[in-house]
């Protein structure tokens, strides 16, 4: 959707600087077709040499966990503390117990591969797109109305485009019943059937105690990559190819949840229910995903060119 783009001709929903060739695995989603943009996404205007614009995860990873998230703590007393009944105050976010996996770090192997130089492929390929729900595609105004959601602008069209173009898994820290309700609002039955995994709070390996507390849920992408159903969804699985950091993108509003694979994260601003949200965030993510699909090593590309939403982006 950048300036000087060719619009969406030839491929519904795409307006990058290069043609997006239609292949057998990605029939076009016909309903994502906003007008051509006048302002390009911010990430396109930041050359790799401008290192001040890049995310510095090394400093983040060296910080104690309670400094990374001021509301999170691992003290035993606070793990048991709950907000008084009858108040609107939410419980503080706490770190998961060691029994639930504790706080992950990227492996040395992950960091080494993310440091390789990225290369542009001749044609785009299928990639695994892992999508968060609450705070990313929609907002739940009240915990007491678990079936009432406010959709982010273009949420349905964006998700449909992803499902019909890439391989999509949905992973939310919400309870399974709430995840089911959110998916029912966002996805048609036809698109829902194409999603390779719909994971909720029950897929984080939490203990029973942590499951019922407001713990920070880390999305270890290795759990998805190692899942048999997800692994089988790779178009070249029969030839031994796998989903990994080189072909996966996580779309989430929380940088904390991507701690184990920080350079696979497209972090977007949290959606808090503003139907007139400026910047058209999801159309910008749409363009960025198409860029990622042409990269030989997505983690290396995203390390050098992290997504940055442009608040001045217009439709």
Residue-wise pLDDT for 136-171, tens only, equals 999 988 776 667 899 999 999 999 999 999 999 999
Q: What is the pLDDT of residues 5-49, one digit of tens each?
A: 332 223 333 333 333 333 333 333 333 333 333 344 433 333 333
Q: For residues 19 and 14, what is the distance between their CA atoms, to the nearest angstrom?
A: 9
Q: How many residues make up the chain in this entry?
A: 315
Please state the rounded mean pLDDT for residues 238-260.
97
High-pLDDT (> 70) share of the chain, %: 70
57-66, Cβ contacts within 8 angstroms, sequence gap of 24 or more: 57/106, 57/262, 57/263, 60/255, 60/262, 61/105, 61/106, 61/259, 61/262, 65/95, 65/103, 66/95
Q: What percent of the chain has pLDDT over 90?
A: 56
Hey, what CATH topology would domain 42-58+103-304 get? Rossmann fold (3.40.50)
Q: What's the confidence (pLDDT) of residue 312?
A: 86
The two tokens of residue 269 are 């601003």
pLDDT at 299 over 90: yes
Backbone region of residue 7 per phi and psi (left: phi > 0; alpha: psi in -120 to 50; beta: other values): left
pLDDT band at 215 (very low <50, low <70, confident <90, very high): confident
Mean of pLDDT values over 254-276:
94
How confident is residue 305, by pLDDT bands cut at 50, 70 and 90?
Answer: very high
- Cα angle 173, 55, 42 (rounded to 5 degrees) comes to 95
> Over 50: is that where the pLDDT of 217 sits?
yes
Q: Are 29 and 154 in contact (CB under 8 A)?
A: no
Indicate the range of 75-79, 119-123, 241-245, 280-284 predicted with least confidence.
75-79
Q: Give 204's pLDDT tier (boundaries 50, 70, 90).
A: confident
Question: pTM score, two decimals?
Answer: 0.74
> What's the pLDDT tens digit per position in 58-117?
433 444 443 344 344 443 344 544 545 444 566 788 898 898 888 989 999 999 999 999
Enumerate long-range contacts of 255-259, CB under 8 Å, 24 or more apart: 255/55, 255/60, 256/68, 256/69, 256/72, 256/216, 256/218, 257/132, 257/173, 257/216, 257/217, 257/218, 257/219, 258/219, 259/61, 259/103, 259/104, 259/105, 259/106, 259/218
pLDDT-wise least confident of 9-13, 126-130, 259-263: 9-13
Mean pLDDT value of segment 240-253: 98
- C-alpha 168/C-alpha 128 separation (Å) is 6
Rounded to an integer, the average pLDDT of 202-222 is: 89
Q: Mean pLDDT over all residues of the chain?
A: 78
Q: Give the pLDDT mean for 169-190.
A: 95
Mean pLDDT of 224-253: 98
Residue 130 has pLDDT above 60, yes or no: yes
Question: What is the model's pLDDT at position 144?
Answer: 66
Give residue 90's pLDDT: 66
């Amino acid at each position: 959707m950048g300036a000087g783009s060719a619009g969406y001709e030839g491929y519904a929903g795409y307006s990058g600087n290069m043609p997006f060739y239609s292949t057998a695995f990605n029939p076009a989603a016909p309903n994502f077709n906003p007008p051509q943009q006048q302002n390009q996404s911010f990430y396109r205007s930041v050359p790799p040499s401008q290192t001040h614009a890049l995310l510095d995860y090394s400093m983040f990873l060296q910080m104690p966990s309670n400094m990374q998230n001021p509301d999170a703590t691992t003290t035993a007393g606070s793990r048991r503390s709950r907000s008084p009944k009858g108040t609107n105050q939410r419980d503080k976010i706490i770190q998961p117990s060691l029994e639930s996996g504790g706080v992950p770090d990227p492996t040395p192997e992950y960091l080494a591969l993310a440091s390789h130089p990225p290369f542009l492929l001749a044609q785009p390929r299928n990639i695994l797109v892992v999508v968060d729900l609450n705070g990313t595609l929609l907002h739940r105004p009240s915990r007491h109305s678990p079936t009432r959601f406010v959709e982010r602008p273009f949420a349905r069209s964006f998700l449909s485009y992803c499902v019909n173009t890439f391989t999509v898994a949905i992973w939310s820290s919400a309870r399974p019943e709430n995840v089911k309700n959110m998916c029912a609002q966002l996805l048609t039955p036809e698109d829902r059937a194409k999603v390779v995994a719909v994971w909720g709070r029950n897929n984080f390996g939490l203990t029973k105690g942590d499951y019922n507390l407001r713990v920070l849920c880390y999305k270890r992408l290795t759990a998805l990559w190692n899942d048999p159903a997800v692994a089988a969804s790779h178009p070249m699985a029969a030839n031994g190819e796998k989903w990994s950091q080189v072909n996966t993108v996580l779309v989430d509003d929380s940088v904390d949840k991507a701690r184990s694979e920080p350079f696979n994260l497209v972090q977007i601003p949290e959606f808090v229910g503003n139907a007139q949200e400026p910047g058209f965030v999801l159309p910008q993510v749409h363009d960025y995903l198409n860029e990622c699909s042409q990269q030989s090593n997505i983690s290396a590309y995203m390390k050098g060119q992290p997504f940055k939403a442009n608040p001045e982006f217009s439709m």
